[in-house]
Structures are given as C-alpha cells and as structure tokens.
Structure 1
Amino acid sequence: MKLNYKRTILIGFAFLSICAFWQFYDNEIPKILKYNFNLGETATGAIMALDNVFALFMLPFFGALSDKTDTRFGKRIPYIFIGTVMAITFLTILIQVARPSGNLVFFIVILLLLLISMGIYRSPAVSLMPDLTPAPVRSAGNAIINLMGALGGVFTLVMTILLVKAANNAADTNYTPLMVSIVVLMAVSIMILVLTIKERSIKKQIEKEGGLGSLGEKIEKEIKENEATDKLPKEVFRSLSFLLLSVAFWYMAYNAVTTAYTRYVEEVWNLKDGSYATTLLIATVAAVLSYIPIGIISSKIGRKKTILGGVVIMTICYLVAAFLPHYTNSINIFFALIGIGWAAINVNSYPMVVEMSKSGDIGKYTGTYYTFSMAAQVFTPILSGMLLEYVSYRTLFPYAVVFSCLAFCTMIMVKHGDVKPAKKESILENFDVDD
C-alpha cells in the first residue's frame, strides 16, 4: 500500500499554519509582555504557561469531540476552519488593537481567546492525517506532517529576520508586517486544505481500496482479554517512572530556554532586532537534517544511548552559552548542536514509552507521556521566570544545565524499553518523530 503524498502534503497545511503561529507566540509574546506592559519575568512566565495549561484539557476534549462529529464537511475540517478563522481574528486584534491600547487586562483577555481558538483545532488538525491514511503508511504520513510543521516554523523565523526591524525602544517594535505575513499564511493554508481535502469522499475512496486498516479492533480485543490482568512488572514500572521524570526534566530545561531566549538576547547580549531568529532557524534546520543520521545511530547503539548522547550535547551547549558575555556568530554552532541533541531525544523517547506499555494500554501511556511533558512546560516558565526576575538573567542557561543533568541521571536509571529500532523502510520515515 502506497502513501498518497499529494493528499498528505495538503493535509499538512493545517499543521504548517499551527507551527507558524506557535513560533511567533513563543518568540514575540514574552517580549510584548515585558516591554509593552512592563511585566516581571515571573508574571510573564505564568502567562506563557497558559497555552500548556489549556492544552492539558482542551486537546483531549476537542479531539474526542471531533471524533463524534459528523457533518457534510467531515469530522475535523469544521473545527480546523472555525478555529483558524477565530485565531486569525484574535491575533489581528491582539497586535493591532490590544497591544497599542496599553491595557493589560484587555490584552490578556484577547490572548486567552486566541489560545482557546488554537486549542479548538489543534487536535482535529493532527488527527486528520491518520483519519485519511491507511495504518501501514501512517509513519511516512506523520513524517510529512512533521516536515510541514517545521516549514511553518521556518517561515516565521525567516519573516522575523526580514520584517522585524530594530527600534530604540523595544516597546516600539513594529510587529504589523510579521503579523500580516503569518495571518496570510494561515488563511492561505486553511483555504488550500478546505478546497482540496473532502473528508467524507476521501474516506469512502480509501474504504473501496481496502479500508483504513486500523489496528483499533485488534487493540480493543487485547484490552478485553487483559482487562483485569496484571499491571506492569515492578522493574518495568520503575524504568517507566524514571523515563517520565527524564521527559519532565529535559522539557524543563529546553522550554525555559525557548520561552526566555528572545528576552535574554536583548537583556544580556544586547540584540535589539529580529536577528535572534537566525539562531533559532539554524537550530530548527539542524534538527530536521539530523533525523536521518539519528535514526541510523539509534538502530546501531540503541535508543537509550542515543538519548543520553543528546542530553550530554545539549548540556554542554547550555554551559557554553552561560559563559558567553555577548552574542557572537559561534553561538549559532552551539544552537545547531542543541537542535541535534533535541532531535536525538524526540526520535527515541516516546517510542521507549510505547515499548514498555502493553498494546491495549498505548493510549493511556501516551497520555501519561504528554502529561509529564506538558506539566513541565507549565511549571518551567514560572520557575525560570522567578530566577530571571529576582536573581539575574544570567541564571537562564545554568538553570537549563541543572535540569539537563537531572534528566541524564534519571535516564541512566531506565533499564527497559531500550531496543535498537529496525531500519526505516524509507528515508521519509526518519522524520516520524514526536514534537
């Protein structure tokens, strides 16, 4: 069975628009909160954690709700269309009206409505690909979706470099050109999706060709057979617990840096325009380019060693960045290595969780994995923000070093789920990673 590449790319436009937005949100909203509304780092961190708080309950809710939806436009498209239109509207109001108003309460209300809009269609957008792709080729399909998402993030970073100009006062930065470029991208992406992807007819076509080949029935049968049976063996549960702690720790480190980096470069390295985006762009591209070699390395030395190698690389780079007194081009090299280290973790961590779960429990342990990663991303902007505000901006990279070291220590204790993954059937499948 072959993957329909054209259809999958068209489906991927939804994820492209999502990633373009989140790249802008993570990079620029903290700066707006700090420089336009004079918020401290703790309050900024708390606000930046809201998207992850919402994700904890909105993503499963709207994912399940769209499962039960049946319209002439399909199950997922209505949520994707409505959510995107709302997001475009509130993003425009946020930048063009709420930001210049100087009214913090108004800004936060619009920001909350924007986050709710994104939460409405994130799960349906991600679910659309497996809905319309036979199970045997979903790995390759997910790879294309991830590449489309990376393209969305790269778009925003490139537009930031081109359109965000330095201002004497950071509060006077003109975000309108960048915002317009993202709004146009989101609008065009969603129109392409709506006009080309007809959910109901595609599903009928796939069923005529042999069906979606879902493993759900098999899993359901196994659940019934093992419903009241034993839990995970004690030693496996111990390994899983340490792995989940590792997930939390490396997200604590990485998310602290990505959330505060745009302010750090202004306060410590004195970068006053969008040139920081070059560093993040290099990290993103390096991560994408490293998926294939990392997949090969994992197949030879195993997932655990590959993850540990990634953690070590990131820790060293955080440590180097902590001692840099000002911005130099060499930082791009270290951020490229950070991207490679993060890719080494992402390619292998979630599969290790799945490896330790029973087939009927995959959904449960997937949820647990995301609970740990999301909880870390809720907590770390607040904790790191307190250190930035009440101690020094210089605490950012040492903070990341500490939690990366903790991740290494807990990962050492993981004794199960470490297999040498089989060689990918195609080059494309190396991009099937968890983001």
Structure 2
Amino acid sequence: MKLNTKRTILIGFAFMSICAFWQFYDNEIPKILKYSFGLGETLTGVVMALDNVLALFLLPLFGTLSDGTDTKYGKRMPYIVVGTIVSTILLTILITVARPSGYIALFVGVLLLLLISMGIYRSPAVSLMPDLTPAPQRSTANAIINLMGTIGGIYILVMIKVLLKEAENPAQTNYIPLMLSLVLFMLVSVLVVFLTIKENKIKEEIHKEGGLHSLGDTFDNDAKEDKTDNTERFEEGTVTKMMPKEVKRSLWFLLVSVFLWFTAYNAVTTAFSRFVGEVWDLHDNAYATCLLVATVAATLSYIPIAYVSRKIGRKKTILIGISLMAASYVITGLYPHFSASINIFFALVGIGWAAINVNSYPMVVEMSKAGEIGKFTGTYYTFSMAAQVFTPIFSGFLLEHISYRTLFPYAFIFSALAFCTMLMVKHGDVKPPKKGKIIDNFDVDD
C-alpha cells in the first residue's frame, strides 16, 4: 500500500489556501487595527485573539457537521467550497468597504464574520487528508500537506513584499492589490481541489483496496471488555462502536500533550521579539532571523521526518522532537547575550516541531472511526487553540511581573510535561511495513 503522492498534493491545495489567509491575517490585520483605526496594543491583541477563541467552538462544530454530511460532492467538499467563497467575499468587503469607512465597529464586525466563515471549512479541509489516506501513510501525507501550507504562507509573504507599498501615512496604505492576489489564490486553490478530488469515488477505491486501516474502525460495539479486533474492518455507514477505555485514555493523554507543547512553543514564538530586546538588548528586528531559521529547518525536515517515523514509529519520533525542543530551550535561556550560535538551537527547535507536527495529528485521527474524522480533527484543534489562548496570557503575566528570563524555563517546563504525558500514549502508532504488508500497531508497547 503506497501513498498516492499526486492525490495528496492536490488535497493540500485546500490547506495551502488556508495558510495563505492566516499569513495575511497575522501580519497585516494588526497593522490595520493600529494605523487605520488607532487601536492600542492591548485592544489589538484582544481583536487578534478572536480567531483562537472562535476556533475553540467552530472547528469541532463544523468538523462534526461535515462527518454527518452526505452529498454527491462528498462530505467535506461543500464546506470547503462554500467557506472559501463566503470568506473571499467578506475579505473583499473588509478591505474595500470596512477599512476605508473609518468605523472600527464595522471593521471588527466584518472581521468577525470573516473568521466565522474561515471556521466553516478549516476542519473539513484538514479532515480531507485522513479521509482519503490509509492510516499507515498519514504521517507522510501530513508532511506533504504541511509543505503545501508553507508554500501558501511564502506566497503571501512574497506578495506583501511586491504589492504592498506603504504610504508615508501608514493609514493610507493601499491593500487592494494584496487583497486581490490573496482572493485569487484562495479561489484557484480550492477550484483545483474541487475539480480533481472526487471524494466519493476515491473512498470507493480505498474501500476496494482494503479500507483506511484506522484503529477506530476495529472497535467492537458488542465487546464488554476493552479490546480491539483486528480481524474485521468497519467502514462508514455501520453502527456506531464504542471506543475502548484504554484507547480513550491514550487519546486524552495525547490531546493533553498537544495542549502542553503548543503552550511551550507559542510562548516562545509570540514573546521572543520582546525577549531579545529586554534581555539581550537586540533591536532592529534582528530576532526574525532566529524564527526564520526555525521555520526553514522545520520545512526542510517534514519529508525526512516522515521517513524516520515509518522506521521507528510516530510516538518515538514525537518524543525525540520534544526532547530536541526542550534541550534547545534550556541552552538558549542560558545565553547572557545574543550569539550567532543560537541559530543552531532554533534550527533544532524547528526540527523538533516538525517531528511533532508530522505525527501528532495522524495519531489523533488514527483512533477515530472513518465516519468521525472531522469530529476528531476539530477536537485536535480545540486543544491546540486553547493553548494559544492560554499561553500569551499566562506567559505574559510572568514576563511582566517576574522577569523576561522566565520565557525559556517556562517553555522547558511545559515541554517536559508534554514528554511525560506522551509517554502514557499507548495507541495511534503504526509499525513499518514488513514483506509488502501493512501491520497495524495499535498498542505500541506490544
């Protein structure tokens, strides 16, 4: 059973469009709030946190709704197409009407609707990959999807550099060319997915080839004891089966791990720009080099890490990734001033983060049934988004009231906790293929 690379790349166009939008949102919306509407840093931070807060509710909701959808276009495609069209319309209104109006209430109102429309198709778009990829190949597929997302982010960064010409008065900067390039990119990307990915037909092909091989599809509803039955496969449309307690326990430990490592990583990425100024007296945006090194290292690591995961397993790869990040946090925090050698440890952070990202989401959906992938996808994002709501507040309190030097110890502690909880995860891994056969490793300790 080999990965259909071409199909995975085509599926990745949906995620690429999403990442392009969020790259624009994270980089330019704060500037618009500050320079066009005069909002202070605190209020800007509140508005920018709306997407994470909404995601806590929207992603599980639309993930679950898409699980129960049945159309001739598939279960995910209607949400992807409708969400994209509505989002591009609202984005156009945001830039061409709400921003020039000068009314902050109108701008925030349209922005709120835009974030809701993005929430409509985020979980369904991400769920499309595990829907159409057999479980043993999902880490490799997820690496490809992440690469596609990176391409979307890079596209918008290039467009910002080429199309966004700042005026002497930043409030008068013309965002329309950049907005049009983003709208066109999102529409074309999703059109590619719509024209090339026929959900129902592909699912039939996978079913004929033996099914998705997910752990969740082996749950026996009639079993009175916690067990898995690897002799019979269940696909969508069958009766709902209960998740065994041991599998549920692994799932919860994995989700807690997701919360903990996002808490650590996002504390560093959001506060590092201030840390370098306060602790190392480093200015002129020099901090960006370290974050760029981490991003490039992660991007270059996706495919090699997928290969390593097939050889040693997802859990071990994640534990190695957490260890790399935790060690790098400790060493970086010991530097009394900036040195170019710090980039080495940020590269290790990027590699560690890639090791986690490539494998953690596939492990979550591994424990789901084929008919509940959207629900589990939404749950995964709930825990990651909860961390991104929590960590700027908690770590910011420590930075403000204790010391900026608490940043890296903070990241290390939460990484260490993630390592401990990840050790308790006993399901969701897959053994490498032997003699041309896929062997499902539902209990990694067996």
Q: What is the TM-score with the length of structure 2 in the denominator?
A: 0.73
- In structure 2, the residue matched to 1:428 is none
- In structure 2, the residue matched to 1:87 is 87
Please give the residue correspondences for 1:253-292 in structure 2 after superposition, counting only pairs within 5 Å: 253-259=264-270, 282-291=293-302
C-alpha separation in 2, matches of 1:331 and 1:177? 38
Greater displacement, 217-226 / 375-384: 217-226
Closer, same or farther in 2 for the Cα pair 1:407/1:28, shift >3 Å? same
C-alpha separation in 1, matches of 2:419 and 2:214? 33
CA deviations on 1:238-291 (whole Å, 9 max, x unpaired) are x9988766643442343345456789999997759xx99876554322102123
Contact 1:243 1:410 in 2 (8 A): no
Instruction: Please point out which of 303, 309, 317 is paired with 2:324.
Output: 309
- In structure 1, the residue matched to 2:413 is 406
Contact 1:160 1:277 in 2 (8 A): no
- In structure 2, the residue matched to 1:60 is 60
Question: 1:407 Cα shift?
Answer: 1.5
- In structure 1, the residue matched to 2:239 is none
C-alpha separation in 2, matches of 1:123 and 1:242? 21
- In structure 2, the residue matched to 1:377 is 388
Greater displacement, 409-418 / 140-149: 409-418
Paired residue secondary structure (2:71):
coil
Q: Please tell me the residue identity of whatever aligns with 1:87.
A: S
Closer, same or farther in 2 for the Cα pair 1:421/1:231, shift >3 Å? closer
Please give the residue correspondences for 1:345-356 in structure 2 after superposition, counting only pairs within 5 Å: 345-347=356-358
- In structure 1, the residue matched to 2:46 is 46
C-alpha separation in 2, matches of 1:93 and 1:399? 42
CA deviations on 1:54-94 (whole Å, 9 max, x unpaired) are 22221222122122222232222111111001111112222
Q: Please tell me the residue identity of whatever aligns with 2:414.
A: A
Closer, same or farther in 2 for the Cα pair 1:226/1:145, shift >3 Å? farther
C-alpha separation in 2, matches of 1:406 and 1:221? 39
> Over aligned residues, Cα RMSD in angstroms?
4.5
- In structure 1, the residue matched to 2:202 is 202
Please give the residue correspondences for 1:125-144 in structure 2 after superposition, counting only pairs within 5 Å: 125-144=125-144
Q: What is the TM-score with the length of structure 1 in the denominator?
A: 0.74
CA deviations on 1:167-208 (whole Å, 9 max, x unpaired) are 55544444333322221110111111222223333334444x
Closer, same or farther in 2 for the Cα pair 1:251/1:286, shift >3 Å? same
Paired residue secondary structure (2:220):
helix
C-alpha separation in 2, matches of 1:163 and 1:200? 40
Q: Please tell me the residue identity of whatever aligns with 1:15.
A: F
Pairing 1:220–2:235 present: no
Contact 1:287 1:339 in 2 (8 A): yes
Question: 1:164 Cα shift?
Answer: 3.6
CA deviations on 1:135-178 (whole Å, 9 max, x unpaired) are 45444333322221222122223333333445555444443333
- Higher helix proportion (structure 1 or 2): 1
- The percent identity for this pair of structures is 56
- In structure 1, the residue matched to 2:26 is 26
Closer, same or farther in 2 for the Cα pair 1:400/1:85, shift >3 Å? farther
C-alpha separation in 2, matches of 1:424 and 1:33? 52
Q: Please tell me the residue identity of whatever aligns with 1:310.
A: M
Contact 1:318 1:401 in 2 (8 A): yes
Question: 1:345 Cα shift?
Answer: 3.9
Unpaired runs of 5+ in structure 2?
227-241, 435-446
- In structure 2, the residue matched to 1:7 is 7
Greater displacement, 379-388 / 310-319: 379-388
- In structure 2, the residue matched to 1:160 is 160
Closer, same or farther in 2 for the Cα pair 1:399/1:53, shift >3 Å? farther
Unpaired runs of 5+ in structure 1?
426-435
Q: Please tell me the residue identity of whatever aligns with 2:101.
A: S
Greater displacement, 60-69 / 12-21: 60-69
C-alpha separation in 1, matches of 2:254 and 2:205? 41
C-alpha separation in 1, matches of 2:253 and 2:100? 47
C-alpha separation in 1, matches of 2:368 and 2:83? 35
C-alpha separation in 2, matches of 1:195 and 1:3? 21
C-alpha separation in 2, matches of 1:288 and 1:197? 25
Closer, same or farther in 2 for the Cα pair 1:45/1:365, shift >3 Å? same
- In structure 1, the residue matched to 2:443 is none
- In structure 1, the residue matched to 2:115 is 115
C-alpha separation in 2, matches of 1:110 and 1:386? 31
Pairing 1:180–2:191 present: no
Contact 2:134 2:214 in 1 (8 A): no
Q: Please tell me the residue identity of whatever aligns with 1:74.
A: G
C-alpha separation in 1, matches of 2:377 and 2:193? 28
C-alpha separation in 2, matches of 1:35 and 1:385? 24
CA deviations on 1:106-146 (whole Å, 9 max, x unpaired) are 11111111111111111111222333334454443333222
C-alpha separation in 2, matches of 1:203 and 1:422? 24
Closer, same or farther in 2 for the Cα pair 1:124/1:19, shift >3 Å? same
C-alpha separation in 2, matches of 1:292 and 1:160? 28
Question: 1:25 Cα shift?
Answer: 1.4
C-alpha separation in 2, matches of 1:110 and 1:257? 31
Aligned residues, how many? 409
Paired residue secondary structure (2:122):
helix
Question: 1:307 Cα shift?
Answer: 1.2
